[in-house]
Structure 1
Amino acid sequence: MSVVKRFVAGATCPRCGEMDTLRMYRDEEKEYRECVECDFEDAMRLDGEPDAAEELETRVNRVPEPIPADAQPLNFVANPGSKRRDH
């Protein structure tokens, strides 16, 4: 039996955020989805029972790197030669 993988139109990858890169396929026990851009893979059981899985690291729940103590803020100053006026 060959597996037919189909792209999901309009779907966004939960890891990389790219649209139209997810494809789905299934076997007798599970339905799978995978991203062709970032190699994300996920599976869901067809009988509705939960799998013991850890939370997927995404761009939303990543722990940010700490800001160094010696970091300096950037100050943006308007170009003195510009003709733009703020009203």
Structure 2
Amino acid sequence: MAAQKRFIAGAICPRCAEMDRIRSWEQHGIRYRECVSCDFFEQLPIEDGAAPELTTRVNRPREEQTRQDVQPVRILDPKGH
């Protein structure tokens, strides 16, 4: 019986950077991962236990946020008072 291939929700392909395109399965003590959008393919022994975690939308490093100067808002009276 063939192993069932399952998509990894939120996974980002390390080659083409497409999200939700990686599927994974295990067979004969090997973990396989492949992208359905490009030619990315990876196989890792399951015994290793230290398989690198794929980047997902949850664990992706945030881009550095630019800090903008804060300025108070002045409300102008339309009647000029």
Q: TM-score, normalised by structure 2?
A: 0.57
Aligned to 2:10: 10
User: Counterparts of 1:34-73 in structure 2 under 5 Å?
Assistant: 34-48=34-48
Aligned to 2:23: 23
How many angstroms does 1:7 deviate by? Answer: 0.3
- Mark the runs of 5 or more structure 1 residues left unpaired by the alignment: 51-87
Considering Cα pairs closer than 8 Å and 6+ residues apart, tell me whether 1 or 2 has the greater RCO. 2
Q: Whole-Å Cα distance in 2 between the matches of residues 21 and 49 of structure 1? A: 23
For the aligned residues, what is the CA RMSD? Answer: 1.7
User: How many percent identity over aligned positions?
Assistant: 46
- SS of 1:47's equivalent in the other structure is helix
How many angstroms does 1:43 deviate by? Answer: 0.8
Q: Whole-Å Cα distance in 1 between the matches of residues 47 and 20 of structure 2? A: 27
Q: Deviation above 4 Å: which 4+ runs of structure 1?
A: none
Q: How many residues align?
A: 50
Q: TM-score, normalised by structure 1?
A: 0.53
